[in-house]
Amino acid sequence: MLTAYHPQSSRQVFAAEQSSSGGPFFCPACGSELRIKKGLKRIHHFAHLPEKVCIYKGESQLHLRIKKQIYYSLLQELGTKVKNVSLEKLMDTIRPDVLIEGFKKNIGIEIQVTPLTPAELIRRTTAYYQQKIHVLWVLPFSKERFFAADDGEFQPIRLKEFELMLYYMNYKNLIFWDDTEKLSEGFIRIQLQDIWQKPGSYYSIDWSTVIEFNPKKLKQKKMPSQIEYHLGLKEFKPVYAPPFQMPKSDYFLPGRFMMLKK
């Protein structure tokens, strides 16, 4: 975690601004004491003791880095245009990585570095909806995933199950963040398209008949069609999206509040 509760000052403090002598520090979720980790290379953070079990435990350096970058980027972009931008806000059933409390609407940023189960994605989506928070799901960007090594052109990518759900939830878009900040300082939006297998025909096993097959949509493989870099939050608008049965799957995506690229 980037922050912890500091009883001495009765507030949430940042690991980057504290030292081990300034403790103790506690986890707001499980209440256990945390150790402050300040290295030269790693992101300054608070860590649970190995034996503790907590929802905040085990965030990767990649997750912490993206969270920190998004937080500072949004502070800079939004400044006084919103009531508050906060990190790791622990709410009833959700814990957005970054929460933006606006004058009219609230926005939660969910950074998803590790795969999420479909059930958990649906649970969180519903919880955000109930709390009237618009969500922006953000995935870690990697250039190698979208661009072919030889010619730098787009290449088909295989979406993980939860990414496929986000693809449908986001009207065939996925939002990323480049933690190297080389390609983009800001959100990255990638539009994807379905890939259709070509129609064709083959002989039956006894060579007596020709069997034709129709074009078939590939389920998890999608083709990037457009990419946009350096997006600020102002380029997204809060929308309500109605419930939706995901094609060729058992998932019923619930009605949700989300941030959609304008």
Contact status: 246 vs Zn ion (CB under 5 A): no
Residues 2 and 12 sit within 8 Å (Cβ to Cβ)? no
As a whole number of angstroms, the distance between CA 234 and CA 22 comes to 38
Contact status: 4 vs Zn ion (CB under 5 A): no
For residues 57 and 145, which CB has a smaller minimum distance to Zn ion in the complex?
Answer: 57
Q: Which of 12, 14, 24, 29 binds Zn ion (CB under 5 A)?
A: 29
Output phi, psi for 44, to 5 deg.
Answer: -65, 125
Which region among 50-58, 179-187, 215-223, 224-232 touches Zn ion (by CB under 5 A)? 50-58
Q: Shortest Cβ distance from residue 56 to Zn ion (Å)?
A: 5
As a whole number of angstroms, the distance between CA 121 and CA 172 comes to 17
Number of residues that bind Zn ion (CB under 5 A): 5
Q: Which of 12, 14, 26, 30 binds Zn ion (CB under 5 A)?
A: 30
54-73 residues in contact with Zn ion (CB under 5 A) are 54, 56
Q: Shortest Cβ distance from residue 48 to Zn ion (Å)?
A: 6
Q: Shortest Cβ distance from residue 46 to Zn ion (Å)?
A: 9
Nearest CA to 84 among 110, 107, 112? 107
As a whole number of angstroms, the distance between CA 130 and CA 124 comes to 10
Contact status: 27 vs Zn ion (CB under 5 A): yes
As a whole number of angstroms, the distance between CA 212 and CA 169 comes to 34
Which region among 51-59, 142-150, 195-203, 253-261 touches Zn ion (by CB under 5 A)? 51-59
Q: Where are the alpha helices (DSSP H) in 93-213?
A: 118-130, 143-146, 161-169
As a whole number of angstroms, the distance between CA 199 and CA 212 comes to 8
DSSP code, position 29 = T
For residues 27 and 164, which CB has a smaller minimum distance to Zn ion in the complex?
Answer: 27
For residues 30 and 195, which CB has a smaller minimum distance to Zn ion in the complex?
Answer: 30
Can you give the binding site for Zn ion, defined by CB under 5 A?
Answer: 27, 29-30, 54, 56
